[in-house]
Structure 1
Amino acid sequence: MTADTPKSRIVGTVVCLPVRDLDASLSFYRSVFDLPELGADEGIIVVELPGLSLFLIEEHAFGTYTGKVGRGVAYPGSGSAVILSCATSSRRTLDEMLRSAASSGGTIARRAGEDEDLGLYLGYFFDPDGHQWELAHAGSGA
């Protein structure tokens, strides 16, 4: 950074999602993101992804945070939704992640394929709590 380049106020990004079954989420995210060291601590699973910390928080504990601002716990389909997007290293990796999501309790929302408008290879899945994930690969080939 040069002296005239403004410093970012943001030093990290954390996304928090409620989960109904911590053990099921733990198993699901271990499998899809190939994270053998993933574990739960005090009702929270921390998934460290490049540039993002994802906190999967047991429903009751999540409610203590949303309750501070007068809100309840909301899941997709109940008025609150988020799309979590990840860029993958290859089409093959994207396809493997979709297969893993399907075999680990998730639901494939849209099979992988070319999106000619965007010039991306895309696939979509829902985790066991209905949170939507988009996987994208910008390169051609495997």
Structure 2
Amino acid sequence: MSIEPRITMITLGVADVAAATAFYQRLGFRRSSASNDDVTFFHMNGTVLGLFGRDALAADAGREPTAPQGFEGTALAHNLGSREAVDAAWNFAVQCGAEPVKKPHEVFWGGYSGYFADPDGHLWELAHNPFMELDASGHMTLPD
């Protein structure tokens, strides 16, 4: 047996579902009608983003809830077609209330990227990778 290598949904544990939902809507994310007061689902290009109370998510996973401790060891990435698109998206996110973590700049691996954090500290990387093309749907294509 094997597990098919794909992600259908990413769920972020948040302190306040309504506040987090409002932030992502300001970014332009489209909320699904399947959402309710306890969980929000956003349509993504081929994936779903879920927002769920942090303590409720821990309980659902059978873990003890802990307070966020800065860097949690995960970043979500959104790749764009140019450096200018990265700058524009990063500036827009900050205008929408994101915490500016690392202003976009040239990076050691030859691309261009920056980071922002959502109101709960979840990191998002905005990047342009000149070595990985994006297909017509905006999905990154990897060489075999």
Q: TM-score scaled to structure 1, two decimals?
A: 0.73
Q: State which drifts further: 125-134 or 93-102.
A: 93-102
CA deviation string 1:16-41 (max 9, x = no partner): 21111222211221233x22x32542
Specify which of 114, 127, 130 is matched with residue 118 of structure 2: 127
CA distance in 1, matches of 2:98, 2:72: 19
The reply to whether residue 41 of structure 1 matches residue 36 of structure 2 is yes
Any idea what SS the aligned residue of 2:101 has? strand
The reply to whether residue 31 of structure 1 matches residue 23 of structure 2 is no
Any idea what SS the aligned residue of 2:65 has? coil
Aligned partner of 1:102 in structure 2 is: 94
Aligned partner of 2:56 in structure 1 is: 61
Number of matched pairs: 129
CA contact (8 A) 1:91 1:121 kept: yes
CA distance in 2, matches of 1:121, 1:17: 26
CA contact (8 A) 2:17 2:37 kept: no
CA RMSD of aligned residues (A): 2.7
Q: Structure 1 runs of 4+ off > 4 angstroms?
A: none
Structure with bigger gyration radius: 1
CA deviation string 1:76-95 (max 9, x = no partner): 42x74311112123333322
CA contact (8 A) 2:54 2:65 kept: no
Identity %: 28
CA spacing shift, 1:99–1:46, aligned 2, 3 Å: same
Specify which of 76, 79, 103 is matched with residue 84 of structure 1: 76
CA contact (8 A) 1:76 1:131 kept: no
Q: TM-score scaled to structure 2, two decimals?
A: 0.72
Q: Aligned AA for 2:21?
A: L
